[in-house]
Copies of this chain bind each other. A is one copy, B any other.
Amino acid sequence: MTAKEKTELRKTHILQAAAKVFAEKGFQDGTIPDVAKESGVSEASIYEYFTNKENLLFSVPLEAIQRLSEQIDFHLKLIRGSADKLRAILYLQLLFYIENRDFAAVIMLILKQNRRFIDTEAHHAIREHLKTVDRVIQEGMETGEFRDDMDPYLLRSTCLGSMEHVVTNWLMLGHPTDEELLGWVDPMIKTLVQGIRTENALHQCPFQHIAKPEDLDAL
């Protein structure tokens, strides 16, 4: 028992080191020797826990994503209103990124780009999480809180894309600060929910002349 726990601890330890190294240097520039140094574990030992360098990379977000997912699922049960649920998702996700910056960098900057990541258990967990978001959106449409004349996938993309864009800039440029970042959740949600246009502009949506006729009905 203690032996197994010890092993598990060591593994976590290596994963944290890997997250830091990969976050700082990227996957290819971050080396196994780097991870060994950072974790204080020998190179050979890393291969006792992970079959591969890539396997190590893919293992970095696994546990974290699951934890985040569970957390979100739990909170969603306590919230009524689709917009509020959306808000909670973004909030918790941002909070998680802030508290686990290295993981965030690995997920947002490195894994996003790796085609093989898609076949991974971690990516499966991400897709599960996406389903949750989809469910919230679906629910919002069904209850009439959200428009139902929009592509749900686009809606999701808009929500997540906004956040990811902001997070990526935060990771790459160090802007804004952690606190400011969290403070942006509400404005972000507000923008998404209310839309850009003013009330006056409500009935003269200027691009509609390009849209297909059936879109007009949707207004």
Contacts and interface: CB of A to CB of B under 8 A. Distances in A.
A186 B211 contact: yes
Q: How many of these chains are in the complex?
A: 4
Contact of A192 (B115, B165, B196): B196
Given A27-B28, A189-B207, A206-B84, A151 B196 contact: no
A52 to B, nearest CB: 15
A20 to B, nearest CB: 15
A187 to B, nearest CB: 5
A9 interface: no
A113 interface: yes
Chain A interface mostly helix, strand, loop or mixed?
helix
Contact of A168 (B110, B112, B147, B210): B112
A150 B115 contact: no
Interface residues of A, number: 62
Interface of A: 26-29, 81, 83-84, 87, 109-110, 112-115, 118, 140, 144-148, 150-151, 154-155, 157-158, 160-166, 168-169, 172-173, 184, 186-198, 200-201, 205-207, 210-212, 215, 219
Given A194-B219, A195-B195, A195-B197, 19 more contacts: A28-B28, A83-B205, A83-B207, A84-B206, A144-B198, A144-B200, A146-B196, A147-B194, A148-B198, A155-B191, A158-B188, A161-B161, A162-B162, A164-B165, A186-B207, A189-B207, A190-B215, A194-B205, A195-B196
